[in-house]
């Protein structure tokens, strides 16, 4: 992903230029309605954070939470699992990343709790994992509602994520590398909201897909534009509709899942676009 001025990372998109991006921001003056309606796509972007940043986040209203004076919705974080609690409707992981701890709730179908446990069998205490999800506040207590949780197998990802979260924090508070000083309240010469809108957007609903394969772009576009239920669309249906081999669609799905652009629903082969509620 890119943060403007050629500063690129791997999971999210905050600026001009290319990168294998996740969220993406709007061009200045532009707007995009999400499928759920009414919100600017800039507010639905994926941002890497530390747990301390989550606890320091300010709730401006019922559905507006800000970090560095910028609205956040979708988050990604990396932490070590300190405790696992399995309930009828969810699995709760307590994560610690060295800056703090927080609960991450992965909601599951009560009829498929055993299948969910089997799928996440590698997510055990003391293991490291990456989470994609939404920041939730209930009774003044913050937690993450997870869309995806996966095991971290390369320990370099832990350091990488902390560096990425720091880079994004500096971008919003001090401006892009080589740019002018940040204005009060975050951003550069613009206020926080206007600064977010000035960051360049990519194709396909303003998600930056410049680092993805052509098949992944087609799959993502198809998922965004094709009417479907809340369960999303199965990869076989996508392959049929696009006249592409199922194996190619599966590979494209793996890329989009890793980038946090889509998430699995009823099973590993059924996907939906990752958008805020």
Q: What is the pLDDT of residues 118-172, one digit of tens each?
A: 777 889 999 999 999 998 888 888 999 999 999 999 999 999 999 999 888 888 8
Mean pLDDT within 179-200: 39
Selected residue with higher pLDDT from 76 and 5: 76
Residue 200 has pLDDT above 90, yes or no: no
Q: If you average pLDDT over residues 243-269, what whole number do you get?
A: 87
Cite the beta strand spans of the chain per DSSP E: 46-48, 58-61, 64-67, 70-72, 74-86, 90-96, 101-107, 128-138, 141-151, 233-234, 262-264, 270-273
- Look at the chain and count its residues: 277
pLDDT average, residue stretch 231-259: 88
Q: What are residue 206's DSSP bridge partners?
A: 202
Instruction: Residue 178: count other Cβ atoms within 10 Å of its Cβ.
Output: 9
**Top-confidence residue, 179 or 209:** 209
The DSSP 8-state label assigned to residue 144 in this structure reads E
Q: What is 76-151's CATH superfamily? A: Nucleic acid-binding proteins (2.40.50.140)
218, 234 Cβ separation under 8 angstroms: no
Range name among 106-120, 193-207, 238-252 with the lowest pLDDT average: 193-207
What are the structural domain ranges in the chain?
76-151, 214-273
Q: Which one is predicted more confidently, 195 or 120?
A: 120
Top-confidence residue, 102 or 137: 102
Predicted pLDDT at 179: 56
Computed over every residue of the chain, the mean pLDDT equals 74
Per-residue pLDDT for 2 more than 60? no
**Scanning the structure block, which residue is given the tokens 């990869």?**
235
Name every residue whose Cβ is closer than 8 Å to that of residue 96 and which is 6 or more positions away in sequence: 51, 79, 80, 82
Residue 58 has which token pair?
Answer: 């300010």
pLDDT band at 205 (very low <50, low <70, confident <90, very high): low
Handedness of CA 75, 273, 138, 64 (dihedral sign): positive
What confidence score (pLDDT) does residue 44 get? 59
In words, the CATH class of domain 214-273 is mainly alpha
> Rounded to 10 degrees, what is the CA torsion of 64, 68, 69, 72?
-30
Q: What is the pLDDT of residues 170-180, one digit of tens each?
A: 888 887 776 55
The predicted structure's pLDDT at residue 117: 66
Report pLDDT for 73: 77
CB-based burial label for 113 (10 Å; 0-12, 13-18, 19+): middle
């Amino acid at each position: 992903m890119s943060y403007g001025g050629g500063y690129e990372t791997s999971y999210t998109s905050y600026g001009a230029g290319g990168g294998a991006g996740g969220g993406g921001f709007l061009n200045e003056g532009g707007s995009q309605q999400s499928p759920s309606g009414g919100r600017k796509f800039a507010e639905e972007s994926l941002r890497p954070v530390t747990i301390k940043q989550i606890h320091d986040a300010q709730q401006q209203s019922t559905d507006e939470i800000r970090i560095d004076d910028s609205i956040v919705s979708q988050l990604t974080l990396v932490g070590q699992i300190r405790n696992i609690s399995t309930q009828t409707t969810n699995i709760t992981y307590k994560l610690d990343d060295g800056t703090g701890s927080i609960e991450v709730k992965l909601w599951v179908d009560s009829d498929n709790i055993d299948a969910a446990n089997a799928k996440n069998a590698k997510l055990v205490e003391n293991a490291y994992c990456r989470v994609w999800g939404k920041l939730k506040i209930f009774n003044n207590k913050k937690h993450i509602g997870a869309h995806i949780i996966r095991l971290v197998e390369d320990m370099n990802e832990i350091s990488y994520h902390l560096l990425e979260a720091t880079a994004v924090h500096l971008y919003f508070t001090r401006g892009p590398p080589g740019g002018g000083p940040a204005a009060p309240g975050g951003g550069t010469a613009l206020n926080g909201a206007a600064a977010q809108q000035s960051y360049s957007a990519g194709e396909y609903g303003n998600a930056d897909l410049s680092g993805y394969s052509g098949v992944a772009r087609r799959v993502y576009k198809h998922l965004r534009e094709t009417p479907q239920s809340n369960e999303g669309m199965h990869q076989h249906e996508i392959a049929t509709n696009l006249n592409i081999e199922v194996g190619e669609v599966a590979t494209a799905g793996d890329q989009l899942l890793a980038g946090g652009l889509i998430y699995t629903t009823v099973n590993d082969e059924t996907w939906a676009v990752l958008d805020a509620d």
